[in-house]
């Protein structure tokens, strides 16, 4: 490292991607610093994936308690145990503190220097953190994203998922604005925990970008849990305050709510970062534009993860961070292939998916086969439960390669994660057929679907 620089790499943002990149660079022998304005661990660990899934588990335990009676368990007389949000929040806070400590220790053990404070780029290779000025050969922007607070008049005052996860008591009712991952997950969990939930969104179906057959069935599943779906409606304004909110819809209707969750989207954390001093013009939604090698237009400046607004998933940010560190300081590297990435939506029931949707198969204008299974799992059928499971395979009719795999139902994220290996390796439908089933499981249906539900060879 030249005497001109304090660090070989200075990372802005100590979330999952930034920490992964910094540790990998340090392992290659680089001198690395990392800057964090909030808590170490970033959105996923502190206020996203981890606490969200802990809340999902809470909802699942409620389901299990209700189902236990049908399986022969005799519970104490009276009502089922009551969910205590305050108790959950206390345990959640302790677990997040523990995980943050783990991340801090990982950085320290890797030899990465942590600077706590807000970073501002002053110019090429130069960053100010508090009263310190740091110079680095390479800068990595890994500042992530945050909830959008200006999408609707008055929405800035509304709680976001960050706030919801810190509640000590649940509201009696909640109106959730949005229909993406965050909106659907929290609407689902709140409903399972006893909150009367209303979901308001502009499209006909929730979860834009997913396969339409999954979207339709998920909407039906949410409706079945008692969530009121207000579809095809934009929101004109939100008024009021804690405990007494009013949501004004585009058609003039006024909805009253004791709690309103702003889940209308997220925006890259680039405001006030000073990237203009490097000649970086922000793209749509304030994202940092990068090329396939994760380089910006400024020499020595790179960006990964949600701040680039490409594919906003924690594993993507981690893979990008490690690949970039290898490219800058290692003997070899390979950038992650983002054409086929598995993802999950932790609703109850959850969604798991990888590969193309049927709309995307249509756009290819190549013949394809559709295989489907729609059934009540054994666990539900035993006591007359109504929750269903849906599975779908999309197969190229010429090559027999499985191009898309989609599931809605219990354990969908776990099942799809395993099958993602097969799709990444280019598995064919014949190879799925040759795989013996594990019985009795829900997952076995993916290797038992023999006859296509339909074959598509013409396109309008």
Tens of pLDDT, residues 197-236: 999 999 999 999 999 999 999 999 999 999 999 999 999 9
HSE, CB side, 13 Å, CA atoms: give it for residue 301. Answer: 24
The DSSP secondary-structure symbol of 295 reads: B
Query: Quick one: 128 and 274 in the same domain?
Result: yes
**Which ranges constitute the DSSP H helices of 193-281?**
212-224
Instruction: Judge whether 265 is annotated as a binding position.
Output: yes
CA-CA distances (angstroms) from residue 94 to 88, 89, 161, 189, 224? 10, 9, 19, 21, 34
Taking the C-alpha atoms of residue 81 and residue 262, their distance in angstroms, rounded to an integer, is: 30
CA-CA distances (angstroms) from residue 54 to 93, 145, 186, 233, 387? 11, 21, 12, 31, 22
pTM: 0.94
Indicate which CATH number applies to the domain containing 278: 3.50.50.60
Query: Quick one: 360 and 425 in the same domain?
Result: yes
Query: Quick one: 285 and 141 in the same domain?
Result: yes
Asked whether residue 340 is assigned to any structural domain, the reply reads: no
Query: Quick one: 19 and 102 in the same domain?
Result: yes
Residues carrying an active site annotation: 439
Query: Quick one: 230 and 118 in the same domain?
Result: no
Query: Quick one: 142 and 271 in the same domain?
Result: yes
Indicate the residue among 264, 295, 310 that finishes a domain. Answer: 264
User: What pLDDT is attached to residue 182?
Assistant: 96
| Tokens of residue 153, six digits | 């008049």
User: What pLDDT is attached to residue 2?
Assistant: 58
Domain residues for 209? Answer: 155-264
Query: Quick one: 279 and 213 in the same domain?
Result: no
The values of phi and psi at residue 404, to 5°, are -155, 145
Residue 198 pairs in a beta bridge with 175, 228
Asked whether residue 131 is assigned to any structural domain, the reply reads: yes
Instruction: Judge whether 184 is annotated as a binding position.
Output: yes
Instruction: Judge whether 178 is annotated as a binding position.
Output: yes
**Edge-to-edge strands, sheet with 244-249:** 235-241, 244-249, 254-257
The values of phi and psi at residue 258, to 5°, are -85, -15
Query: Quick one: 77 and 101 in the same domain?
Result: yes
Taking the C-alpha atoms of residue 227 and residue 66, their distance in angstroms, rounded to an integer, is: 18
Taking the C-alpha atoms of residue 398 and residue 366, their distance in angstroms, rounded to an integer, is: 8
Asked whether residue 443 is assigned to any structural domain, the reply reads: yes
Q: How many domains does the structure of the chain reveal?
A: 3
Residue with tokens 């585009």: 250
Instruction: Judge whether 400 is annotated as a binding position.
Output: no
Query: Quick one: 258 and 273 in the same domain?
Result: no
Instruction: Judge whether 179 is annotated as a binding position.
Output: yes
Indicate the residue among 217, 238, 264 that finishes a domain. Answer: 264
Asked whether residue 344 is assigned to any structural domain, the reply reads: no
Indicate the residue among 230, 264, 298 that finishes a domain. Answer: 264
User: What pLDDT is attached to residue 132?
Assistant: 96
Tell how strand 368-375 and strand 301-303 pair up.
unpaired
Taking the C-alpha atoms of residue 61 and residue 83, their distance in angstroms, rounded to an integer, is: 10
In this structure, what is the dihedral angle of CA atoms 420, 423, 425, 430, given to the nearest 10 degrees?
130
Q: How far apart are the first and last CA of the chain?
A: 60
User: What pLDDT is attached to residue 81?
Assistant: 81
Query: Quick one: 136 and 170 in the same domain?
Result: no
Instruction: Judge whether 330 is annotated as a binding position.
Output: no
Query: Which of 305, 307, 289 lies closest to 297 in space, CA to CA?
Result: 289
Asked whether residue 336 is assigned to any structural domain, the reply reads: no
Query: Which of 304, 318, 334 lies closest to 139 in space, CA to CA?
Result: 304
Asked whether residue 281 is assigned to any structural domain, the reply reads: yes
Query: Quick one: 226 and 93 in the same domain?
Result: no
Q: Are 407 and 392 in contact (CB under 8 A)?
A: yes
CA-CA distances (angstroms) from residue 308 to 284, 289, 304? 10, 6, 6
Asked whether residue 343 is assigned to any structural domain, the reply reads: no
In this structure, what is the dihedral angle of CA atoms 363, 364, 367, 372, given to the nearest 10 degrees?
-60
Instruction: Supply the angle between the helices 212-224 and 181-192 in degrees, to the nearest 10.
Output: 30
Instruction: Judge whether 287 is annotated as a binding position.
Output: no
Residues of the chain with confidence (pLDDT) below 50: none
Burial of 246 (0-12, 13-18, 19+ CB in 10 A): middle
Instruction: Judge whether 164 is annotated as a binding position.
Output: no
- b/e code 54-65 from CB counts within 10 Å (16+ = b): ebbebbeebbee
User: What pLDDT is attached to residue 78?
Assistant: 67
Asked whether residue 2 is assigned to any structural domain, the reply reads: no
Query: Quick one: 142 and 14 in the same domain?
Result: yes
Query: What's the whole-number average pLDDT of the chain?
Result: 96
Indicate which CATH number applies to the domain containing 363: 3.30.390.30
């Amino acid at each position: 490292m030249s005497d001109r620089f304090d660090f070989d790499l200075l990372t802005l943002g100590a979330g999952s991607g930034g920490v992964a990149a910094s540790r990998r660079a340090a392992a290659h022998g680089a001198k690395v610093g990392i800057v964090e304005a909030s808590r170490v661990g970033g959105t996923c660990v502190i206020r996203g994936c981890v606490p969200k899934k802990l809340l999902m588990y809470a909802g699942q335990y409620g389901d299990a308690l209700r189902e236990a009676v049908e399986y022969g368990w005799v519970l104490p007389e009276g009502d089922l145990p009551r969910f205590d949000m305050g108790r959950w929040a206390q345990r959640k806070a302790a677990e997040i503190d523990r995980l943050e400590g783990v991340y801090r220790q990982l950085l320290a053990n890797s030899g990465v220097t942590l600077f706590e404070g807000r970073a501002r780029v002053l110019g090429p290779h130069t960053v100010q953190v508090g009263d310190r000025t740091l110079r680095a050969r390479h800068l990595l922007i890994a500042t992530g994203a945050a909830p959008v607070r200006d999408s609707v008049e008055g929405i800035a005052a509304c709680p976001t998922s960050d706030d919801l996860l810190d509640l000590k008591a649940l509201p009696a009712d909640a109106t959730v604005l949005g229909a993406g991952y965050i909106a659907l997950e929290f609407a689902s969990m709140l409903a399972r925990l006893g909150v009367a939930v209303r979901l308001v969104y502009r499209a006909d179906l929730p979860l834009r970008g997913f396969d339409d057959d999954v979207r339709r069935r998920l909407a039906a599943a949410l409706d079945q849990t008692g969530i009121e779906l207000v579809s095809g409606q934009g929101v004109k304004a939100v008024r009021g305050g804690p405990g007494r909110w009013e949501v004004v819809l585009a058609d003039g209707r006024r909805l009253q709510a004791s709690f309103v969750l702003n889940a209308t989207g997220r925006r890259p954390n680039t405001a006030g970062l000073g990237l203009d001093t490097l000649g970086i013009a922000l793209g749509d939604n304030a994202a940092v534009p990068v090329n396939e090698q994760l380089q910006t237009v400024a020499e020595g400046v790179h960006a990964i993860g949600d701040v680039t607004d490409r594919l906003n998933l924690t594993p993507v940010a981690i893979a990008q961070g490690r690949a970039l560190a290898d490219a800058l300081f290692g003997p070899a590297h390979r950038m992650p292939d983002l054409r086929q990435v598995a993802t999950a939506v932790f609703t109850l029931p959850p969604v798991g998916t990888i590969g193309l949707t049927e709309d995307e198969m249509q756009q290819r204008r190549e013949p394809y086969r559709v295989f489907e299974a729609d059934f009540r799992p054994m666990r539900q059928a035993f006591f007359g439960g109504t929750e269903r499971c849906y599975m779908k395979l999309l197969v190229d009719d010429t090559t027999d390669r499985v191009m898309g795999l989609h599931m809605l139902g219990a354990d969908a994220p776990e099942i799809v994660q395993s099958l993602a290996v097969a799709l990444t390796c280019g598995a064919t439908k014949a190879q799925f057929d040759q795989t013996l089933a594990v019985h009795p499981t829900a997952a076995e249906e993916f290797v038992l679907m023999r006859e296509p539900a339909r074959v598509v060879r013409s396109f309008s």
